[in-house]
Chain A
Amino acid sequence: MKITKKNKKLITKYLVLFFALSSFSAIIIYALSKNMVYFYTPTQAINNEAPINLSIRIGGMVKINSVKKSSSDLNVTFIVHDLNHKIFVHYEGILPDLFSEGQGIIMTGKLINQNNFLATEVLAKHDENYMPPEVADMMKKDSEVFYKK
């Protein structure tokens, strides 16, 4: 192919397009890799399968009679469990309206150590028929194991 004026223009066009698209992809992939949050179960946390001190999500059921609220500030502690294991959760803030004991929730935050979780965000289910898919999935698996036993 001869490098005529027309071809040159075409080549520049494609080069610009290529650079634009690759820089867009770079931005998107970078942002995605920085902001992915993995989901774990309490069992995985206890078994050291979840990273300590990294932003993750943990889901499970709130243990009945485990919620302890401070009377002077916004600190709350409670226990979240799946059928096998439980972890202690520390949270400072206002819990969602639909948060209550015995319910499925998902939390975002960091593990301090394998059985203590510092939550920065707590999501409760939004209506009585609804359970976060991750929690539903986990409970199903757990109960299968449970029944096999």
Chain B
Amino acid sequence: MIPEIGNIFLSISASISLCLFSLIFIKRYVDINFRYTLSKYLSIFIFFFIFVSFLLLSYAFLTDDFSLRYVANNSNVSLENVYKFSAVWGAHEGSILLWVLVLSLWNFFISIYSKTIPKSIVVDMLSIMGILLLFFLLFILFTSNPFDRIFPIPLNGRDLNPLLQDPGLIIHPPMLYIGYVGTSVPFVFAIAILLKGNINISWIAWLRKWVIATWLFLTFGITLGSWWAYHELGWGGWWFWDPVENASFMPWLAITALLHSLIVSEKRGIFISWSILLSILTFSLSLLGTFLVRSGVLVSVHAFANDPERGLFILLFLSVVIGLSLGLYYVKSPKLVFYKKYSITSKEFMLLMNNLFLTITTFAILLGTLYPLISSSLNIGKISVGAPYFNFIFSALMLPIIFLMSPAIFTSWKNTSYNKIQKKLFKIFFYSVIISYIFANIFFSTKFFIVNIAIFLAVFTVLSSLKRIIDILNTTKQNFIITKIISVPSYVYANSLAHIGIGFVILGITFSTYFSTQNELVMNFGDKVNIKNISIKFSGVKNIVSKNYISQTGIFDYYEDKNYVLSFFPEKRSYNIQKNVMTEAAISSNLFRDIYIALGDKLSENSWVVRIYYKPFIQLLWYGAALMILGGLFGIFGRYKSLKNFSDEL
């Protein structure tokens, strides 16, 4: 009975979404206040019904209702409860349901937190959300219904893919989806503005917070995915330029560009038409990502069992969305183009460069991701574009704008004298050169010039962001250090923390890529491996039986300068139901290095293939991401009152 209710609720929310959408057509005939109130209630109802059907599906999982095909395929009696719950979004049908749930949640939030923008815009935004919701609900109901029954009812389920039975995977998809789907907010805003044909600058301040929130979740989601890959896949890597990773990374780059262009739009009233185009592109990339993941057209870790019909459905929707919104943009955007003069040393120009490079990088990654598809559909040949392409493109296009980040934060609007920038950065520049030289050549003695550049840029970024905060601290009139710290406007913290985060991420990437020690070797019980001043001894392997898997757990003792420090327990798990083998790496981390041990194949009773990696400073990657997220939080919740006192800083 419960699944039928779920089905009915989904159908009800689809019809409410249609009502919500239709509000856009009755503009002329119905009073705005009525439409506004109605749209608010409709949004609440949509969210409520989708949420309840989501709960019903979760309930089906928790109570092992294998009469549902989806539950039977992705769960099992012996699965731990927390994984039964996360299995709800462990495969296609449920994850699309999560997609819609998140979309309805964003819709609901827009309906609540939009007091500062006119009602007519809000109603239009909600109506456009209505059509998006309607599409995805129909998509669920017709092509991927998680409430479909199966007959005969199996006694037990086929279990959740063991790759997904990991704590990181419980929250990675929801976080990523919140970010992914959040790109719909700037999209519906852009469409509403285009329909209206004019814009008030104060509305952009409203939009910017939503964009920051979306960016924040996207950052968090991608980081979690990366962190999970590092711990779970057993290769010691954290980014593979897999098409699906790219699918989440492209919207991230685009929304990062949008974040910056909106600053110009808000403060100077220019780049508005561009911001709107970027909003449309960001959402299109997000839809494209959904298409890539769901259609299975590309080789990927994330490709589930696929059905071409679903891909076609999304592809059609994608073309309609892109076609219509770009058409609308073409007709209406000329009214939104404004010019103001600014020099090459102005903040406007710096942010323009930021947008130029980010957009081109996005495009280059898009090209590399889609090229295999294009070439195989044109029958040129089956090809793949490997990681070297992306690494090259990414470093070639990112390093210039990272260099510009430091001067950019010291520029003012309209124009800045070279002297000012030079005065601020002259010392910092030399300190950075010296520090990075010492690190790259004395501590680590690199052979690669690019390492010098990357470390220099990272240090330069971190130091100049710190300097900006310190400069402001020194000029405030407050007496106490605490009041001084509080008096710094939060946008400065937001910006500085995020930029320092980028610096940390670059350091993490560079050190772990160029200075890791990787040992892949055959070890017998009792064998030792020495890396620098540490040695690792392979003591043995024991069998541990768990609820739904059997683990062969290696025991590695770790000695530093011949003193025993701790033991590692990497595992090779074989899951009972899907007969899959999974590697669980054992990692010991501190600020300076990770030691990463994973078991490979068993060769004989007492000899195994083993991976031992020593990765210096890889933790900086996660710290950097955390700083970026913290910066985002400052951006959303920060006070903007004190802005006037620092008009120079803007």
Residues of A within 8 A of B (CB): 20, 24, 27-28, 31-32, 34-39, 57, 69, 71-74, 93-95, 97-98, 106, 108, 123, 126-130, 132-134
- CB–CB B601/A28 < 8 A: no
Closest to B583 in A: A97
CB distance from A65 to the nearest CB of B (A): 16
- CB–CB A31/B299 < 8 A: no
Binds A, one of B31-39, B120-128, B381-389: B381-389
Collect the chain B residues with CB atoms within 8 Å of residue A129's CB: 304-305
Tell me the chain B residues, 271-303 only, with Cβ under 8 Å from chain A. Answer: 296-299, 301, 303
Assess A106 versus B299: contact at CB under 8 Å? Given A32-B389, A37-B386: yes
Closest to A123 in B: B299
- CB–CB B364/A94 < 8 A: no
Collect the chain A residues with CB atoms within 8 Å of residue B303's CB: 126, 130
Closest to A20 in B: B356
Q: Does B521 lie at the interface of the complex (its beta carbon under 8 Å from any beta carbon of A)?
A: yes
Choose from B299, B305, B356, B396 the contact partner of A127 (Cβ within 8 Å): B305
CB distance from B100 to the nearest CB of A (A): 24
Q: Does B339 lie at the interface of the complex (its beta carbon under 8 Å from any beta carbon of A)?
A: no
Collect the chain B residues with CB atoms within 8 Å of residue A97's CB: 234, 580-583
CB distance from A123 to the nearest CB of B (A): 7
- Majority secondary structure of chain B interface residues (helix, strand, loop or mixed): mixed
Q: Does B635 lie at the interface of the complex (its beta carbon under 8 Å from any beta carbon of A)?
A: no
Q: Does B600 lie at the interface of the complex (its beta carbon under 8 Å from any beta carbon of A)?
A: yes
Q: Does B513 lie at the interface of the complex (its beta carbon under 8 Å from any beta carbon of A)?
A: no
Q: CA–CA, A94 to B608, complex, Å?
A: 11
A and B contact pairs by CB, cutoff 8 A, 23 listed = A24-B397, A27-B396, A28-B393, A31-B396, A32-B389, A35-B385, A35-B388, A35-B392, A36-B371, A36-B389, A37-B386, A72-B522, A74-B520, A95-B601, A97-B582, A123-B299, A126-B163, A126-B301, A127-B305, A128-B580, A129-B304, A130-B304, A133-B297
Q: CA–CA, A98 to B162, complex, Å?
A: 11
- CB–CB A36/B383 < 8 A: yes
CB distance from A113 to the nearest CB of B (A): 22
Nearest 8 Cβ contacts at the A-B interface: A129-B305, A39-B382, A35-B389, A94-B600, A97-B581, A31-B392, A28-B364, A132-B299
Collect the chain A residues with CB atoms within 8 Å of residue B384's CB: 36-37, 39, 57
CB distance from A50 to the nearest CB of B (A): 11
Chain B window 591-630, contacts with chain A (Cβ cutoff 8 Å), 1 for yes, 0 for no: 0000000001101100101010000000000000000000
Q: CA–CA, A35 to B299, complex, Å?
A: 17
- CB–CB A134/B163 < 8 A: no
Collect the chain B residues with CB atoms within 8 Å of residue A126's CB: 163, 301, 303
Closest to A92 in B: B520
CB distance from A36 to the nearest CB of B (A): 5
Collect the chain A residues with CB atoms within 8 Å of residue B582's CB: 97
CB distance from B315 to the nearest CB of A (A): 16
Collect the chain B residues with CB atoms within 8 Å of residue A57's CB: 384
Q: Does B368 lie at the interface of the complex (its beta carbon under 8 Å from any beta carbon of A)?
A: yes
CB distance from A75 to the nearest CB of B (A): 10
CB distance from A11 to the nearest CB of B (A): 17
- CB–CB B601/A32 < 8 A: no
Q: Does B367 lie at the interface of the complex (its beta carbon under 8 Å from any beta carbon of A)?
A: yes
- CB–CB B367/A28 < 8 A: yes
Assess A133 versus B609: contact at CB under 8 Å? Given A37-B383, A38-B382: no
Collect the chain A residues with CB atoms within 8 Å of residue B397's CB: 24, 27
CB distance from B359 to the nearest CB of A (A): 10
Assess A31 versus B161: contact at CB under 8 Å? Given A71-B604, A97-B582: no
Assess A94 versus B611: contact at CB under 8 Å? Given A126-B303, A127-B163: yes
Q: CA–CA, A108 to B396, complex, Å?
A: 25
Collect the chain A residues with CB atoms within 8 Å of residue B392's CB: 31, 34-35
CB distance from B136 to the nearest CB of A (A): 23
- CB–CB A134/B382 < 8 A: yes
Q: CA–CA, A32 to B611, complex, Å?
A: 32
Collect the chain A residues with CB atoms within 8 Å of residue B521's CB: 73-74
- CB–CB A93/B299 < 8 A: no
Assess A36 versus B607: contact at CB under 8 Å? Given A106-B299, A127-B305, A133-B297: no
Q: Does B485 lie at the interface of the complex (its beta carbon under 8 Å from any beta carbon of A)?
A: no
- CB–CB A133/B299 < 8 A: yes
CB distance from B545 to the nearest CB of A (A): 19
Closest to A121 in B: B386
Choose from B356, B381, B583, B607 the contact partner of A71 (Cβ within 8 Å): B607
- CB–CB B383/A73 < 8 A: no
Collect the chain B residues with CB atoms within 8 Å of residue A27's CB: 393, 396-397
Collect the chain A residues with CB atoms within 8 Å of residue B12's CB: none
- CB–CB A73/B368 < 8 A: no
CB distance from B75 to the nearest CB of A (A): 15
Q: Does B360 lie at the interface of the complex (its beta carbon under 8 Å from any beta carbon of A)?
A: yes
- CB–CB A69/B299 < 8 A: no
- CB–CB A31/B393 < 8 A: yes
Contacts A34-B388, A94-B601, A94-B611 known; list 15 others, CB within 8 Å. Answer: A36-B371, A36-B383, A36-B384, A37-B385, A38-B383, A69-B601, A73-B521, A74-B520, A94-B600, A94-B609, A108-B386, A126-B303, A127-B161, A128-B578, A130-B304
